Chain A
Amino acid sequence: MSINLQALFAQLLVGLINGSFYALLSLGLAVIFGMLNIINFAHGALYMMGAFCAYFLLNALNIGYWPALIVAPVAVGIFGMILERTMLKWISGLDHLYGLLLTFGMALIIQGVFQNYFGSSGLPYAIPDVLKGGMNLGFMFLPIYRGWVVIFSLIVCLLTWYLIERTRLGANLRAATENPTLVRAFGINVPRMITLTYGLGVGLAALAGVLSAPINQVRPLMGADLIIVVFAVVVIGGMGSIMGSIITGFALGIVEGLTKYFYPEASNTVVFVLMVLVLLIKPSGLTGRAA
């Protein structure tokens, strides 16, 4: 089999980009799971909201891509914090499964509302002028925007990791996960920290949405199918560590890209197949703690 390098690298790049989204989303899921003990099924819907938010800012308020990178995650993050204060708060202490069911309901509502107003077809979002075009790297043609997405999300992932694993705020956060009562005794407002954490996780999802808007079309169901792949990524990675989510996210994107080149029929299923294999060998996931 002769290998077409041009096509192989193109698929690898697509894989890396999908990997960026997987990493940002599973990172947000991990942060939320650590603090709230909830698997946030609404994560895909909030990712979609991020993309729509960017679309709105551009078309209704004429606010371009660069401000949207900040405004959209903050806006959706605030929306997430409202959700946490009004709903998620009431089920803390109940079985994990209630969190899954509640956020699933929230996802249905959000997606349904967007489908009503925008239909199911996609809306285009133009690539910002600075990032248009591409570079010839000699062995492949690199569209600049795609390269930007990969590098930018990698930086965001690492910053989040640094925030949680290396700063005082992160230390408080991790302590509150382990023992909320004790942390509260030190005068730290744990409920507020929980709300902010949910906002952070949601903001990461919305950021992924803004990044994906120029690549994928802005659609109400853009997050619905993606979230299931991300769940598979989470099962494979095990959600044991922040770094684990990031590495697993990118790695699985690359694996998916390679599959698209060598055996395209399996590209939709390879992540799930990998999940099965990992579960058979190491049920707790690659970086996970035992359940």
Chain B
Amino acid sequence: MTTITENAIPEPRRGTSDAMIAFVIMTALLVVVPLTGVYPFFVMQALCFALLACAFNLLIGYGGLLSFGHAMFLGTAGYFTAHALKVWGVTPELGILIGTVGAAALGVITGVIAIRRQGIYFAMITLALSQLLYFVYLQTPFTHGEDGIQGIPQGYLFGIFNLSKPITLYYVILAGFLLGFLLIYRAINSPFGEVLKAIRENEPRAISLGYKTDQYKLLAYILSGTLAGFAGSLKVFVAQNASLTDVHWTMSGEIVLMTLVGGLGTIFGPVVGAFVIIAMQQYLAGFGQWVTVIQGAIFVICVLTFRRGVIGEIAHYFRRSL
């Protein structure tokens, strides 16, 4: 049985310099965005989803675990942050902390349960757990059910940065994204990341070498969930609401789609994928339900003919690790 990301990893690795160059280009592009007149709300939203997809990719691309319920982290952190900001009136940094810690706690609880099975069972369990949470959030009063939490105050980050100014908010979101991205990059290129890759390639061998693979997988799951939650907390400041759509399982599907389009197991793939999918939703909104059909078609095409994704194909062509 081939591993799911086998195609995405080009054979000869030429160190990390390629990735460094790509990172500098990406950062430069994102820094100049507000000067270009591109609709900033769209880019901010895409950045939140890019971080979310990167966090998801950490789990599948390097741990070989397909979580089909990652929306639960997005939604949970979103609700926690939104509630803290609106009802408790906390400062933005504390709101983000509450949301992210909430997602981390959720990661611990669901991880202990889900990690007991592998492959498609793992996918189905995470899916079922996120649907369980969906019904819980539908019924608990603090989420306001179908209405969601609306009109969330943005406030001043660290008492200095006025988040209701779009340009300030943009750079704060960008900083948050880069922080999360570098953290994931660091994790992948650490001994921890190497063990994770070993588990993905051949788990029985990793076990026979003395690694407690369940602990590594659980840690990767919690890390991934926490960062996904961080993305969800940031998103609250952009959208100024938290709603059930963020917890629904179709959102989990979108996260998978973003990563698949960009390239499973590539460092920059999820970022590109998130921008592609969010742009598509933005500009194809007039097509109504056809957007779902188009997304489904992209899924099918990617799986049948284009399994490496955009970045995976580029990396494979140039034989680089991106």
Cα–Cα, bound, A280→B124 (Å): 15
**B68 nearest in chain A by CB position:** A100
Q: Is the C-beta of B128 less than 8 angstroms from some C-beta in chain A?
A: yes
Digit string of B85-116 for contact with A (CB within 8 Å is 1, else 0)?
Answer: 00000000000000000000000000001101
Q: Take A108-B293, A109-B297, A112-B293 as given contacts and tell me if A234 and B117 are in contact as well, using a CB distance cutoff of 8 Å.
A: no
Asked if residues B135 and A268 are in contact (CB atoms below 8 Å), the reply is yes
Digit string of B286-318 for contact with A (CB within 8 Å is 1, else 0)?
Answer: 001111110111111011100100000000000
Asked if residues B116 and A279 are in contact (CB atoms below 8 Å), the reply is yes
Residues of chain B from 224 to 263 with CB closer than 8 A to chain A in the complex: 249, 253, 256, 260
Q: Is the C-beta of A186 less than 8 angstroms from some C-beta in chain B?
A: no
Q: Is the C-beta of B172 less than 8 angstroms from some C-beta in chain A?
A: no
From B1-9, B48-56, B163-171, B183-191, give the one contacting chain A.
B1-9
Cα–Cα, bound, A93→B295 (Å): 25
Asked if residues B127 and A101 are in contact (CB atoms below 8 Å), the reply is no
Q: Is the C-beta of B17 less than 8 angstroms from some C-beta in chain A?
A: no
Write the nearest CB–CB distance from A41 to chain B, whole angstroms: 9
Q: Which of A98, A265, A283 contacts B303 (CB 8 A)?
A: A98
Could you say which residues of chain A place their CB within 8 Å of the CB of B298? 105
- Please report whether the interface of chain B is mostly helix, strand, loop or mixed according to DSSP: helix
Interface residue tally on B, bucketed by range: 35 or more
Cα–Cα, bound, A284→B118 (Å): 10
Could you say which residues of chain B place their CB within 8 Å of the CB of A284? 117
Q: Which of A98, A104, A113, A225 contacts B4 (CB 8 A)?
A: A98
Asked if residues B132 and A279 are in contact (CB atoms below 8 Å), the reply is no
Residues of chain A from 88 to 112 with CB closer than 8 A to chain B in the complex: 90-91, 93-102, 104-112
Q: Is the C-beta of B129 less than 8 angstroms from some C-beta in chain A?
A: yes
Q: Take A269-B136, A291-B117 as given contacts and tell me if A105 and B303 are in contact as well, using a CB distance cutoff of 8 Å.
A: yes
Asked if residues B253 and A90 are in contact (CB atoms below 8 Å), the reply is no
Q: Is the C-beta of A208 less than 8 angstroms from some C-beta in chain B?
A: no
Q: Is the C-beta of B271 less than 8 angstroms from some C-beta in chain A?
A: no
Could you say which residues of chain A place their CB within 8 Å of the CB of B132? 269, 272-273, 276
Asked if residues A101 and B260 are in contact (CB atoms below 8 Å), the reply is yes
Q: Is the C-beta of B198 less than 8 angstroms from some C-beta in chain A?
A: no
Write the nearest CB–CB distance from B56 to chain A, whole angstroms: 13
Cα–Cα, bound, A106→B299 (Å): 8
Write the nearest CB–CB distance from B162 to chain A, whole angstroms: 40
Q: Is the C-beta of A175 less than 8 angstroms from some C-beta in chain B?
A: no
Q: Is the C-beta of B151 less than 8 angstroms from some C-beta in chain A?
A: no
Asked if residues A232 and B128 are in contact (CB atoms below 8 Å), the reply is yes
Cα–Cα, bound, A269→B307 (Å): 35
Write the nearest CB–CB distance from B306 to chain A, whole angstroms: 12
Q: Is the C-beta of A157 less than 8 angstroms from some C-beta in chain B?
A: no
Q: Take A115-B289, A283-B117 as given contacts and tell me if A97 and B123 are in contact as well, using a CB distance cutoff of 8 Å.
A: yes
Q: Take A39-B124, A102-B299, A272-B129 as given contacts and tell me if A108 and B292 are in contact as well, using a CB distance cutoff of 8 Å.
A: yes
Q: Take A100-B120, A279-B113 as given contacts and tell me if A95 and B2 are in contact as well, using a CB distance cutoff of 8 Å.
A: yes
Asked if residues B120 and A39 are in contact (CB atoms below 8 Å), the reply is yes
**B293 nearest in chain A by CB position:** A112
Asked if residues A115 and B292 are in contact (CB atoms below 8 Å), the reply is yes
Q: Is the C-beta of B41 less than 8 angstroms from some C-beta in chain A?
A: no
Could you say which residues of chain A place their CB within 8 Å of the CB of B4? 94-95, 97-98
Q: Which of A39, A108, A291 contacts B299 (CB 8 A)?
A: A108
Digit string of A172-186 for contact with B (CB within 8 Å is 1, else 0)?
Answer: 000000000000000
Asked if residues B3 and A228 are in contact (CB atoms below 8 Å), the reply is no
Cα–Cα, bound, A279→B122 (Å): 11
Asked if residues A269 and B135 are in contact (CB atoms below 8 Å), the reply is yes
Cα–Cα, bound, A106→B116 (Å): 29
Q: Is the C-beta of A235 less than 8 angstroms from some C-beta in chain B?
A: yes
Could you say which residues of chain B place their CB within 8 Å of the CB of A105? 295-300, 302-303
Write the nearest CB–CB distance from B259 to chain A, whole angstroms: 10
Cα–Cα, bound, A275→B2 (Å): 29
Could you say which residues of chain A place their CB within 8 Å of the CB of B128? 228, 231-232, 235, 272, 275
Q: Which of B139, B296, B302 contacts A108 (CB 8 A)?
A: B296
Asked if residues A265 and B123 are in contact (CB atoms below 8 Å), the reply is no
Write the nearest CB–CB distance from B271 to chain A, whole angstroms: 20
Q: Is the C-beta of A151 less than 8 angstroms from some C-beta in chain B?
A: no
Q: Is the C-beta of A131 less than 8 angstroms from some C-beta in chain B?
A: no
Cα–Cα, bound, A91→B4 (Å): 12
Residue contacts A-B, CB under 8 angstroms, 28 given: A90-B304, A91-B303, A95-B4, A95-B119, A98-B303, A100-B120, A104-B296, A105-B296, A105-B298, A105-B302, A108-B253, A108-B293, A108-B296, A108-B299, A109-B296, A112-B289, A112-B291, A112-B293, A115-B289, A229-B131, A232-B124, A232-B128, A268-B135, A276-B129, A279-B113, A279-B116, A283-B116, A291-B121
6 tightest Cβ-Cβ pairs between the two chains A and B: A105-B299, A108-B296, A112-B292, A112-B293, A272-B132, A109-B296
